[in-house]
Amino acid sequence: MRFLFSYLLGLSFNQPNISLCSSWSPNASTIVGENSLSQQYTAIFVNTQNTIYAASQDNDQILIWNNKSPIPTRNISVNLSNPGSLFVTNNEDIYVDNGFSNNRVDKLSYNATISERVTGVNGSCTGLFIDSNQSLYCSLMKSHRVVKHELEGTAKMWTSVAGTGCPGPVPNALDHPHGIYVDIDFSLYVADTYNNRIQRFAFDKSDGSTVAGFGSSIHFLLNRPTGIVLDADNYLFIVDSHNHRIVRSTQDGFRCIAGCSSTPGSNPSQLRYPYSLAFDKSGNILVTDMQNRRIQLFRLTSNPRGKSIYYVRLDIRSRTRSFLTDAILFERRLFVLSCSKENRK
């Protein structure tokens, strides 16, 4: 398995090389959420050393775990108010939403006892991201926009990069955006929550294209998506919050990889209004299972080196057992994603 992409690009987070034939355990392990640590976690960030950062709205704090230890190694409470998002840099600076009551984005250090105000903001940032040019992005749910702030240089004002400020389903509008992601080409991906879609805004373009959900070229319905990340091949991994599941894109469609009953619950195979997700350096997926007040880990169980796939029309009479298959819905037809045994290594 190759997970060198994040290191080569100097990323602070994990962007693994995931085969289209990969699979994850349907039953998650609860790594956070027992006893006093049962809290309503919103954002999660996992760095390239597998240090986990999570924002808790219950106690207005950031919790940090090293190497999936069940006990936090740090608990940072420095005048935060309902933190909804965070982003951690390579030098372990923690940028955190502090907009609910305090109307700002703050910067914390690992050993923080006080916070540093980065910039003012008009409301909560339901998503935060820092690109390779040191630009800070904030999704403003109530303003239906994504804005950008230069952390370096003289320009210190927010500039709007997506959305008009009015809710709507047209290409240049957003409706209650949440999670955001910026790729190496500076294209912006937005979980456009109330429009039930994922929008992609090419650099310096005001009109977005729908890459998943309502209005996309592939028929695959989302219900209040709140989180979006990309793997090394720019395939999407989406928190489909009100369908209580995690889905991913493939070459020709989408398939579910966690919470696939779409029924809310607290069993290991279920989620209840998940909010955000992150990869660890092994390709495991960590999810803030918000209404279950826990953080779940779905372990990567198969990641074939070969990425060759093909699609075949499903034949219910077939009894062939020579393929590992997953059914997907594409243009209202049922297909099978097939990974031959020789690719499973």
DSSP track, 221-261: --SSEEEEEE-TT--EEEEEGGGTEEEEE-SSSEEEEESTT
Number of residues written out for the chain: 345
| Residue 281 belongs to some domain of the structure | yes
Show pLDDT as tens, one digit a residue, over the chain (345 residues).
344 444 445 799 999 999 999 999 999 999 988 766 788 999 999 999 999 999 999 899 999 998 767 789 999 988 899 999 999 999 999 999 999 999 999 999 988 788 899 999 999 999 999 999 999 999 999 999 999 999 987 767 899 999 999 999 999 999 999 999 999 999 999 999 999 999 999 999 999 999 999 998 888 999 999 999 999 999 999 999 999 999 999 988 999 999 999 999 999 999 999 999 999 999 999 999 999 999 999 999 998 853 433 333 333 333 333 333 344 444 334 444 445 443 433
Distance CA 59, CA 43 (A): 14
Total of domains in the chain: 1
Distance CA 292, CA 295 (A): 9
| Residue 324 belongs to some domain of the structure | no
| Residue 11 belongs to some domain of the structure | yes
| Residue 47 belongs to some domain of the structure | yes
| pLDDT score, position 178 | 99
- DSSP label at residue 291: G
| Residue 55 belongs to some domain of the structure | yes
What is the CATH number for 138? 2.120.10.30
| Residue 330 belongs to some domain of the structure | no
Q: Which two tokens stand for residue 181?
A: 């992601």
- Which domain covers residue 101, as residue numbers? 5-305
Q: Kindly tell me the burial class for residue 283, based on how many C-beta atoms sit within 10 Å of its own C-beta (0-12, 13-18, 19 or more).
A: buried
| Residue 274 belongs to some domain of the structure | yes
| pLDDT score, position 36 | 64
The strand pairing partners of 312, in sequence order, are 336
| Residue 322 belongs to some domain of the structure | no
